[in-house]
Structures are given as C-alpha cells and as structure tokens.
Structure 1
C-alpha cells in the first residue's frame, strides 16, 4: 500500500513517514526538497502514481494573510486534481481545532478554505483537527510578547506532542475514509495564562506572564473554548512536562 505524505520532510510529516514504514507500508515523503511542489504542481503526477492514500501535512512558507491563503487554496486544488487523475482513494489532511471559531485569524481562514475544497472534492477524505503542538509553545509565547511582558488570556489550552499528532494522522490514514473530521488534543487541559507562567519559569525566562482576558492569539481574541476540542476527542498520551524533560535531555 503506497502512501504519499505531502510535507513529508517536516515536523509531523517526517514522523508520519517513519511510522508508516514501520508498519510495512511504502511511504513517499513529498516536499519541494524531494522534487514535489504542490504550489507549482512540479513532480505531483510522478509522486502520486500508484498511490492509495495521500496525506497532506504541508504548511505555508509564509504566515502573511494573503500568502497563506494563496498557498492552501492553490496547493490543495493542484493536489486534489492530481489525486483524481491518479485514482487516489483517500485524502487525509491535518488541520486545527477551532478553525471556524477564529475568523479574524488569517491562517485559520485559509485552513477553512482548504477544508472546504477537500469536502467538495469527489475523493473520499478524512480531516484531523489537532490542538497546538508542544513544539510551537515557544513561538506562541514570543508572538504574545510586548517588551518584557507576555500577555495571555485565561482560556482553556490543551496542547499535544508532535509524536501524538503523527500517530493520530497515521491512524486516520490507515483506516477507512471518514468523509468528516476527527478531533485530537493533549492529555492535559490548562488555563493558558497559567500554563505559560509555569513554562517560562521552567525555562528560566525573565519575561512576566500577565493575565489579560482580551489578549490576542495571533490577532484573535479568544473565548473560553476557542482552542480546545469538544467532548469525545481522541487524546494523546504524552504530557507536556515529560516531553519537555525528554527534549531538554536531547532524547
């Protein structure tokens, strides 16, 4: 069984390719650095030849609103057209919990466009909505920093390890198409301000975390449950502190 993982050399993609190969599958890592470019269409037909499942975990090289929309819209159209021509039977995409809840966020808007294109395609599909990754925690803190202050809203926050994300996407890819979505999140739920206060203290970071109910998350004001999955979501098993300890020890 051949899987093509678009974005297969990135954070989640590389983990997923390894996991699929461990299960005895053929897994092709498709990315610009392997000669496959979904934005231009370069290499797509060759990569998808004989593929049963295509998994899209790719990301835009730019987070600027217009650029990220162009990437997800154009790349997804090109990918779906190539899959149709190749007779691919299952399209799996990684997206974000709460995409529809934060319309002021340009990245989330672009992901909604991507999901709509997938849902309207004739190809059976599964969409995995994941919460924020542990690997992005530092970037979230940096984006919320003003001078020596990190402003965080006291809303629910349920991040997860990249390894758990890859496992969830792999599970969807190896199963039958859902023609719908599944939500996945971390095993622990925090208050966002308290989480970052503890994390920065653990880093020895001198920045002060200030609780601000109007603090914005990449341009969007958050409600209590903007970033967390609904009841019934599949939860990962790796806790943040265990992950951070392992990462600090280089394991």
Structure 2
C-alpha cells in the first residue's frame, strides 16, 4: 500500500544523527520506503535496525490516526453534532476536499507527543533483541553439521542481520536440519560442477526454504529402494552336490525309486 506522506519528528532526526554517517543515508532511505511504500529490506545494518525499531512504531501509530481521521474519528465533547446536509450528498467533491484537508493536517510536522518512556522502552527492546541473539551458537551448529563447506572466519554485521532475520521465521532446530540436508547433498557439497554452498548462501531466505523443501536432495536418496521384509532373504545359498540329492531321495522313499 502506498501513502502520500508521513510525520517526521525531531526525535527521528536526533536518533539517526547518532549512527555512523555512512549509515545515515541508509536509515533515511529505509524510513522513507516503509513510510511511503510500506516496504522493508530483508537485511539492514545493526545500528540502523536498532534505530528503526524506535521509528517504526510511531509511523504505525500515525497511520492508524490518519485512518481514524478519514472515518470521522472520535467526536469531541464540545463539538456540536450537526445533521448532514443534503448538499453534501449531492456534491461528493466536498468529501474529497475534507479528506485532503484531514490528510494535510496529519502531515504537518508538529510536536512529538510520544512519551519519553515509550521511546526508551522501544530502544531497549530493539537493543535487547540484538544482544539476545547467540550468533556464535548458530555458526557452531553450521560448522558441526557442514564439515564439507567453507568455515565462517568472521561474524560480520551483515551475517548477524541475516541470522536475526532467519530466526524470525525458523527455529534453531530447523536451521540445524537445513545445514544437515545441505551436507548430505552432493550438489551443495560441490561434487557436481565445482560450485558449493556456504554459510551466506544457506542463510538466504529463498535458499533455506528450497533446501528444507528437498530441492537439492540427491536423486538416489529420493528414490530409495523398498526394504525386503522377507526374513530369509539374508540366508546364504548352500551348494549341495547331485549325490547328496540322490541319497536324500533314496532315504525319503525307502530305497524305492520309480
């Protein structure tokens, strides 16, 4: 859904000013894309992720206020309830003017009314979520399950962001299963063409889904033969001689062979 505008508070500006200069443009771009086009990138730098955790709730609240305003909103106690005029029904353009006027009033940059306690809690919540993520544990699971794939030498911010993004959709057990399935795949191990997967490839949103769905399983594994349930199928064949069979026949017939 697209929006015509949104409210920018001074607190947004002051928060973004505190992050590295090279990431400020990224923060503004992400804020604009979300506020106007309702889109979010799959990955973002750690500092931007923390700051946007403060900004996003306020943008969402303003959207809700704008939606309520277009519906009429809550009437004030001192407001006089007037009967609808027939003229308004005959001229729909008046409704359009009213909606535009309401929207413009919401787009005016005014005083940030969000309590400071709410802002602090939002920042603390985003920060705690970042620190609660055990990045080393996920990478250790990858190393244990995928000895054939390349090792992770450095836990970069991009990799931290990818790990947090995947843990929003998958559990640790599901990530472990993905790594195990990758290790069993000849293609992902690089045995069929030279290319092989790595940690960054497996942590991609689209790739992890395809691995878990069995897209890269070996054909031999997909078409495993059914097990023989006959309890005698493992018995070794015995090599009896012709004389043995003749003696057995004579014994069974009492020496009377027809």
Indicate the TM-score class for this superposition, using the shorter chain for normalisation.
Answer: under 0.3
Task: State TM-score, norm by structure 1.
Answer: 0.26
Structure with greater strand share of residues: 1
Structure with greater helix share of residues: 2
